[in-house]
């Protein structure tokens, strides 16, 4: 309790730093308490809060003392980056999150790539928040992540130059790609020609698509190809006039590389969705299914079964007819026929 009172750390901060110490918990606590003076020095600079430091040191466990000393040792390199007036302590702690015992190496790598980072910011297209989102949790790989991102700068600017994507859209899609940032950006650019026609249909906005692809990160290329591959099915669902682009993007939010499978699940289960629309609003169904994209078929079945008794009272759906309903999907039938023909 005295330690928390003197440093301003909460029990949550401490448990974050000491996580994974397991059987070494005693040594970890001793190391942390022994580094109290260094912690207070970092806090006294007025740049970092207890939350920032616990984010950076997360999981350092029995190495907490060494990690804190390393962080103190490189603070002279780190503070000028903050002093640029571009990055906040929150931005940097997000990038360095989980570097733990590698905190010293991670900070040195980040500082070593400072000029590259500022070059991206200097273009005036990306904010520190955008970049810290893309580089989030790169930790000890921070240097490699920054260099990869800068190496893909021309591709990034090409995407922005199309006037379709904003920096916020791109950082949403590439969120936490970290050391894979370069590959992720190049994959996104490579799939651009496939993605733009979907936008050109006038049905989906860039915000809808970036929501679906949110945090696909290093899998951005695969995610976009899966989404484009299921384009006809998506547009068919929209064409029914029951679900809007916002409804569908809400259900598919963060499906990323699983977008194709999730869309196909929507198509196959379309009769169940249509049945539920007799009683519930599309946005209500969308909210209930949001976050289940990876297992959407099961989620739709579970939702249908939970409301089936209410539906039976107001519609002509026979009890236990869910499998038969799914089999009757006109979209599923079309997909099956096309598959047989191929």
In the prediction, which pLDDT does 49 show? 86
Residue 321's pLDDT is 42
Among candidate residues 31, 28, 35, the one with its CA nearest the CA of residue 6? 35
d(CA 322, CA 275): 10
Mean confidence (pLDDT) of the chain:
78
For 59: left if phi > 0, alpha if psi spans -120 to 50, otherwise beta; the answer is: left
Label each residue of the chain as H, E or C.
CHHHHHHCCCHHHHHHHHCCCHHHHHHHHHHHHHCHHHHHHHHHCCCCCHHHHHHHCCCCHHHHHHHHHHHHHCHHHHHHHHHCCCCCHHHHHHHCCCCHHHHHHHHHHHHHCHHHHHHHHHCCCCCHHHHHHHCCCCHHHHHHHHHHHHHCHHHHHHHHHCCCCCHHHHHHHCCCCHHHHHHHHHHHHHCHHHHHHHHHCCCCCHHHHHHHCCCCHHHHHHHHHHHHHCHHHHHHHHHCCCCCHHHHHHHCCCCHHHHHHHHHHHHHCHHHHHHHHCCCCHHHHHHHHCCCHHHHHHHHHHHHHHHHHHHHHHCCCCCCCHHHHHHCCHHHHHHHHHHHHC
Burial state string for 90-126 with b = 16 or more CB within 10 A and e = fewer than 16: bbbbbbbbbbbbbbbbbbbbbbebbebbeebbeeebb
Residue 12: pLDDT above 80? yes
Band (pLDDT 50/70/90 cuts) for residue 332 is: very low
On whether the CB atoms of residues 325 and 272 are closer than 8 A, the answer is yes
Q: What is the pTM of this model?
A: 0.69
pLDDT bucket at 297, cuts 50 / 70 / 90: very high
Average pLDDT over residues 306-325: 60
The pLDDT of residue 318 is 42
pLDDT in tens, 17-70: 777 676 677 777 887 788 788 888 888 877 788 888 888 888 777 777 777 887
Q: How far apart are CA 321 and CA 333, in angstroms?
A: 17
Range in 87-91, 118-122, 313-317 the model is least confident about: 313-317
Tokens of 222: 């695969």
Q: What is the mean pLDDT of residues 267-286?
A: 89
Report how far residue 54's alpha carbon sits from residue 60's, in angstroms, rounded to the nearest whole number: 10
Query: Is 90 exceeded by the pLDDT of residue 301?
Result: yes
Query: pLDDT tens digits for 171-207?
Result: 888 887 877 777 888 888 888 777 777 776 658 888 8
Angle 118-93-170 (CA atoms, 0-180°, nearest 5)? 55
Whether the predicted pLDDT of 322 surpasses 60: no
- Residue 15 scores a pLDDT above 90: no
pLDDT of residue 85: 58
């Amino acid at each position: 309790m005295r330690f928390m009172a003197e440093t301003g750390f909460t029990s949550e901060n401490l448990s974050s730093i000491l996580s994974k110490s397991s059987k070494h918990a005693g040594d970890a606590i001793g190391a942390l308490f022994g580094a109290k003076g260094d912690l207070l020095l970092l806090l006294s600079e007025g740049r970092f809060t207890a939350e920032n430091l616990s984010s950076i040191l997360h999981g350092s466990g029995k190495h907490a003392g060494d990690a804190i000393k390393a962080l103190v040792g490189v603070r002279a390199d780190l503070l000028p980056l903050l002093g640029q007036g571009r990055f906040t302590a929150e931005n940097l702690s997000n990038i360095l999150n989980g570097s733990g015992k590698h905190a010293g190496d991670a900070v040195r790598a980040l500082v070593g790539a400072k000029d590259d980072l500022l070059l991206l910011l200097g273009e005036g297209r990306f904010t520190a928040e955008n970049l810290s989102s893309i580089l989030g949790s790169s930790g000890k790989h921070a240097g490699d992540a920054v260099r990869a991102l800068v190496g893909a700068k021309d591709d990034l600017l090409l995407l922005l130059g199309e006037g379709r994507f904003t920096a916020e859209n791109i950082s949403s899609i590439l969120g936490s790609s970290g050391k894979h940032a370069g590959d992720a950006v190049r994959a996104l650019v490579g799939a651009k020609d496939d993605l733009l026609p979907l936008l050109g249909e006038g049905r989906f906005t860039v915000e809808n698509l970036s929501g679906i692809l949110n945090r696909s990160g290093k899998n951005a290329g695969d995610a976009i190809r899966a989404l484009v591959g299921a384009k006809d099915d998506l547009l068919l669902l929209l064409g029914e006039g029951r679900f809007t682009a916002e409804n569908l993007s809400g259900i598919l939010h963060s499906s990323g590389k699983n977008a194709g499978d999730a869309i196909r699940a929507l198509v196959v289960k379309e009769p169940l969705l249509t049945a539920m629309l007799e009683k519930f609003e599309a946005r209500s169904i969308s909210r209930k299914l949001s976050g289940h994209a990876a297992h959407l078929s099961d989620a739709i079945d579970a939702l249908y079964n939970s409301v089936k008794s209410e539906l039976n009272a107001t519609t002509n759906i026979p009890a236990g007819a869910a499998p038969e309903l799914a089999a009757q999907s006109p979209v599923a039938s079309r997909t099956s026929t096309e598959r047989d023909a191929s």
